[in-house]
Structure 1
C-alpha cells in the first residue's frame, strides 16, 4: 500500500467528489494518512499540498450502522459550529458507500495537540497544565449551555429516562463479556440503580469528554473538541462525572490506561467540580453518583477489552494487563458511591 493511499481512503475518488460538491476547494492531487487515536472510527488527514482536511469513516469491515453513525457526528458538529463550542468546520457528508466503501464526512483540519498522558503534559509546567484543564471545564460549560432547540438538535437523543437506560446498557455490555468473577461489580451496578439521581434539563452530551479528545493550541486554549461518536441529548452531569473520574490518579505505575491526572499542576476533582458548578450554575450535589457511574462504565469497557484479549481477538501493547485494572476501577466506583452516600 503506498503511503498516500492508506486502507479505507481513496484520495482520487475523494477528490472527484469534492470537485463536484465543493468546486474550487481542492487545488491539486490529494494525499492522505491515517491519524492514530479516536475510539474506533478511522480518522485521516488529507492535503492538496496547501490546505488540509480531515476525513472520518467507520472501521474497515462489517459494522453495525448505529455503532459508527457518520451522519450523527457530522450533524452535531454542523449544529455546534456557529456556537461558542470549538469544533472543526464541517465540509461535507457523503452517505454514498460507492466513494470510499462506507459513509464518511470531511471537516477542516485544526492545528493543535491532544495530550494523552501526564508525561506529555508535564513539559507545559504546573501553571499552564492547570489553566489547560480548567479551560477544559469551561469549554464543557459552553457545550452544556447550548440550547438544543436553537441549534436544531431537539431530536438528537431521548433524554427521558437517560440515566436508567445508560445503566441498563452498560449492564448488558458487562453480561456480554462475563467470563470471570469480578468482586463488587454487581454490587456497584445495583447500588447505582438504587440511587439514581434526578437529571437536570437535558443538554448535548459529548459522552467521552476528556483532555485527549480535544486539541490544545500553542496558547493552551482549546481549538476543537473531537470524537463526537458517543454524543447525544442527555444528562450533562455524565460528562462532568467522566471528567472527574479522569482527574483521579489511578496510583498504578505504567498503567495501560492513559491519564493526565498525575501531571504537576493538574487540578484535583474538587476544584474541577467547583469550577463547573460556579460557571454553569448547576446543582452538582450528586456528582459522586456520576463519578461512580463513570468508574463502572470504564470497568465494563476494560473488561470487554480483556475478554476479547483472552479470546485472542485483541492484540497490542498493554492489552495483556488491562484485566488487572478492572478491579481497581470497581473499587474506585464503590468507594466514590459510599463517600457520596455518606455525605447525604
Structure 2
C-alpha cells in the first residue's frame, strides 16, 4: 500500500476542508500530512491558512475493543488545559464519521523537539541531559498530583482495582491479537508472564490520574535551553488508577549503560546511557522524593510494562497481517515480541535483573 493510498484511508480532504471551514472559517490554503513517527493512533499535521494544527484519529480497520479511543483522549487533554501539566490547546472534537471516517479531535500544534531516536544538539552536554531526566520525572509527578475531581475527571475511571484490571485488559488484548498472529507463530513465554502477573498483583495501590503511555518520546521539549517539557502527548490510555504503573512504563523505555540491546530497537532508544542522563535508579529516587510515594513492587510494575508493550506489539502485528496498516515497524513484531517476552519471563523468574 502506498503512502498516498494509506493517507486516503485516513482523511477525505474535501470533507475535512468543509468541516474546518464551518468551524474555523475559510482560508486560502489547506494541506494535510501524516506524521509517520507514531505507531498507534494516527497523527495528521494540518496547515489551515497560517495556522498549524494537529488531528488525532484511530487507525483504519478493525481494532481491539476499547483501543484507540480518541474522544476519551480529547476529554483528558481538554480538562488538563488549566493545570500544571503541559498539554496542547484543544480546539474541537468530532464524532461525525462523515468527515474523515472516524472520531477525531483537533488541537493546536506545539513547537519543540521530541527526543525519540537522538538528542538535539543543544542538549548534548551532561548538565542539559540531567535536566532532561529531571523534567521528565517532574512532569510525571505533576500528572499524578492533579486533583482530577476538580477538573471534571472524577468519573474518568475506576481507580480501585486498576492494576488487576490492567492485567486482565492486556490479556484480553493479546487474545484478540493471537486470533490472527497464531497463524505465523506462537509466544508461550508471553502467556507465562501474564499468568505470573495475575498471581502477583499488588493488594492495594494509590489512586491518581495516570497517563498510561508516559515515556521520553511522548513529551515535547521546548525549542530553547535549559530543557523544559512543553507538552505531553498520546493520552489515549489515560484513566484513573495506579501511578506506579506509569513509572514502570517509563523505566521500560529508559536505557542504562550495561543494558542488553533493546528488544524493540525502533521503539527503545539507547542514547540515555550517555554521560549526564540519570539512571533508572536516579529517576525512581527523584520520583519518590517529588511525590512522597515509594516504588514498591518494582518487579511487578516493570514486568507489567513489558507485558503491555509485548501486547501492543502483537496488536501491531495483527493489524499488519489484516492489512490495516502500512507501518514498516509492524511486521518486525513477529520476532521482536518473542524476544521481549523471553526477557520478561526471565526477569520475573529471577534469572536476570534487566529486561
With the shorter chain as reference, the TM-score category is 0.7 to 0.9
Whole-angstrom distance in 1 between the partners of 2:60 and 2:249: 29
Is structure 2 residue 165 aligned with structure 1 residue 165? Answer: yes
Counterpart CA distance in 2 for 1:240 and 1:147 is: 19
TM-score, normalisation: structure 1: 0.84
Counterpart-to-counterpart distance in 1, 2:27 and 2:314: 47
For 2:106 and 2:93, locate their aligned partners in 1 and report how far apart those are by CA, in whole Å. Answer: 6
The aligned counterpart of 1:215 is 220
Bigger mean CA offset, 6-15 vs 201-210: 6-15
Uncovered stretches (5+) of structure 1, i.e. residues with no partner: none
Deviation, 1:134, is 2.2
Deviation per residue, 1:58-108 (Å, 9 max, x gap): 223455784332321111111001001010011111222223332221111
Alignment partners' CA distance in 1, 2:205 and 2:104: 34
Cα distance change, pair 319–71 in 1 and its aligned pair in 2 (3 A): closer
Note if 1:125 corresponds to 2:124.
yes
**1:284 correspondence with 2:295:** yes
- Per-residue deviation, 1:18: 4.0
**Residue number among 291, 297, 306 corresponding to 2:308 in the alignment:** 297
Q: Taking structure 1 as reference, are residues 305 and 15 closer, same or farther at Cα in structure 2, changes over 3 Å only?
A: closer
CA contact (8 A) 2:60 2:324 kept: no
Do residues 53 (structure 1) and 53 (structure 2) align? yes
Aligned residues: 336
Moved more, 140-149 or 46-55: 46-55
The answer to whether the Cα contact below 8 Å between 1:292 and 1:332 also exists between their aligned partners in 2 is no
Which residue of structure 2 lines up, in the alignment, with residue 251 of structure 1?
A: 260
User: CA 1:71–1:239 in 2, change beyond 3 Å: closer, same or farther?
Assistant: same
Are the aligned partners of 1:30 and 1:46 in contact in 2 as well (CA < 8 Å)?
A: yes
- 2:209 is aligned to 204
- Aligned: 1:237 with 2:213: no
Q: Is the 8 A contact 1:12 1:29 kept in 2?
A: no
Equivalent residue in structure 2 for 1:260, among 262, 269, 287: 269
Unaligned runs of 5+ in 2: none
RMSD after superposition = 3.2
